[in-house]
Amino acid sequence: MNPADSSHGKRTKRTSALSAFTVIELIVAVGVIAILASLLLPAVCPTQAAARSAKCKANLHQLGLALRMYVDDFAIYPLLSSPIDPTRSTGPWKEWPHDLAPYVQVALDQALSDRSFRCTERQRAQPGRRSLTNTKSGPAYNDYGYNGAGCKADADPDGLRLGNPTWMDPAWSRLVSNGRLRLIETRESKVKQPDDMIAITCSDLPDQRSVGPAFDAVEYWPTRSHKGGANVLFCDAHVDYGNQGRWIEKSQRARRRWNNDHEPHGGALR
């Protein structure tokens, strides 16, 4: 046998033995990777939540620009809900997303289901929720709630809100005149301080159209899905974040934000 070949064979066997993992070494390596992953995961989760919140804010900002363009065109704010034909108080109805849809390049028949009108955090938290139909008839309502009540819905005949609340009975005399539904529109000039009046916010109801502290049920308040708080769009199109208590606390500042006259009327703020 050639001594050189023998020497080469021994080096090959030695190299193979050194490069191979034992079972124990493999287990140790997997354990180290698992520990590193467990240490990194808590850092990744807040980053993902922040990304979803940023996307939600971007959605709201786009809706804010759409709202401003609508107001510039018509000098009024969109109604919360209204009949397509004003002479038929029983409907069919259109909602405020239908008014804003053309300004965000969304087809009217997609307005109530398009992602532009959905909070990203709620989509993640409730993946199995109804998104196309509700317990009534027709498509589901948007995930963003509209300020349809102010902090006290009936503080004056025309309300403190941005649009008429659809839960009012159309048979009420102040809403029906000569067989026609009297739509309670909020003119641009009526909103005294647009940069401090809430227009749209994340809500906790999948079939939600109106949101605000005038409602007794907490489900109608701004959500807590974004790390205990909600993103809120104001009438001047800027977006702000705050915990739920900030938006519904019993303070004059909180109450003013919900009312078009920017006065702290009493209401159902917890």
CA 145 to chain centre: 7
Split at pLDDT 50, 70, 90, the class of 26 is: confident
Per-residue pLDDT at 45? 57
Per-residue pLDDT at 208? 54
Per-residue pLDDT at 251? 86
For residues 119 and 63, is the Cβ–Cβ distance under 8 A? Answer: no
Per-residue pLDDT at 135? 35
Per-residue pLDDT at 32? 79
Share of the chain above pLDDT 70, in %: 64
Q: Are strands 180-181 and 198-202 parallel, antiparallel or unpaired?
A: unpaired
Q: What is the mean pLDDT of residues 112-119?
A: 83
Per-residue pLDDT at 104? 93
Is the pLDDT score of 107 beyond 70?
yes
Per-residue pLDDT at 67? 96
More confident residue, 86 or 237: 237
Residue 168 CA: distances (Å) to CA of 86, 175, 258: 16, 9, 19
Q: What is the mean pLDDT of residues 120-147?
A: 55
Name the token pair of 36: 């590193």
Q: What is the mean pLDDT of residues 162-182?
A: 53
Split at pLDDT 50, 70, 90, the class of 40 is: low
Per-residue pLDDT at 109? 85
More confident residue, 102 or 28: 102
Is the pLDDT score of 173 beyond 60?
no
């209204």: which residue's tokens? Answer: 82
Per-residue pLDDT at 5? 53
Angle, CA of 60, 94 and 107, to the nearest 5°: 60
Does residue 46 have a cis bond before it (omega within 30 degrees)?
no
State the pTM of this model.
Answer: 0.73
Of 75-89, 118-132, 178-192, 254-268, minimum mean pLDDT range: 118-132
**C-beta contacts of 98-105 below 8 A and 24+ residues apart:** 99/70, 100/63, 100/66, 100/67, 100/70, 103/65, 103/66, 103/69, 103/70, 104/62, 104/63, 104/66
DSSP states of 41-81 as a string? HHHHHHHHHHHHHHHHHHHHHHHHHHHHHHHHHHSBPPPSE
Per-residue pLDDT at 138? 43
Per-residue pLDDT at 166? 44
Is the pLDDT score of 179 beyond 70?
no
Q: What is the pLDDT of residues 45-95, one digit of tens each?
A: 567 778 888 899 999 999 999 999 999 999 999 988 777 776 666 667 788
